[in-house]
Amino acid sequence: MMDKIVLAGFGGQGVMFMGKIFAVSGMVSDLEVCWIPSYGPEMRGGTANCFVLLSDEEIHSPVIDKADGGIVLNQPSYDKFVDMIKPGGVLVVNTSIVELNETRADITIIKVQAIEAANELGNPTIANMVCLGALLPHLKLTDYNKVEKAIQEVVGAKRPELLEINLAAIKKGMESN
């Protein structure tokens, strides 16, 4: 069994952080993991995307031709990656800034007003975690408990003050299903 995930947005929106959380959630679960980040030379504002594979068997190739699920945080990412989701897959779209000019009938699109949800929680920088939460119930090999362990490992020691707000954002995103 394998989950192939594509994550994309502008640099500074937390795309790599989402990918790292998914990857660490696989590692704490003794899964095989592949995390491939890709970003432009700009530190913030440029494009960023990453691919994460979680598998209960050996991963023979890190290449994703069709993803089971994905998250797009901005319009260019939606336009580029909507066709990468396999039929029957799930795409979480940050409709705070993405306009669904064309949709696909063969995938599930979860519309999330991520920026508004993050603002309701008091921290506009956690819109990515709201979207992560919206995708989480649609994955086969990871769940809230595994992601919670991953966030504790990645965020807990360095920035413990951000632990609870990230978990609250994920729970809020899970409610959007």
The three-class DSSP label of residue 62 is coil
11 vs 118: CA distance, rounded Å: 18
Mean pLDDT over 56-74 rounds to 94
User: Angle 52-31-54 (CA atoms, 0-180°, nearest 5)?
Assistant: 20
Q: What is the pLDDT of residue 117?
A: 95
Tell me the C-alpha distance between 35 and 91, whole Å. Answer: 19
Q: What is the pLDDT of residue 98?
A: 95
Q: Which residues pair with 50 in a beta bridge?
A: 7, 37
Give yes or no for residue 41 having a pLDDT over 70.
no
Residue 50 three-state SS: strand
Q: In angstroms, how far apart are the furthest CA atoms of the chain?
A: 43
Handedness of CA 3, 23, 137, 124 (dihedral sign): negative
Three-class DSSP category at 36: strand
pLDDT, position 81: 94
Mean pLDDT of the chain: 92
If we measure between CA atoms, which residue out of 77, 171, 156 comes closest to residue 117?
171
CB 6 within 8 A of CB 66: no
Distance CA 13, CA 72 (A): 10
From 30-44, 67-81, 133-147, the region with the lowest mean pLDDT: 30-44
Query: Domain 2-174 sits in which CATH superfamily?
Result: Pyruvate-ferredoxin oxidoreductase, PFOR, domain III (3.40.920.10)
- pTM for this entry: 0.93
Looking at per-residue pLDDT, the higher value among 75 and 162 belongs to 75
CA distances from 135 to 44, 79, 127, 147, 150 (A): 24, 19, 13, 12, 16
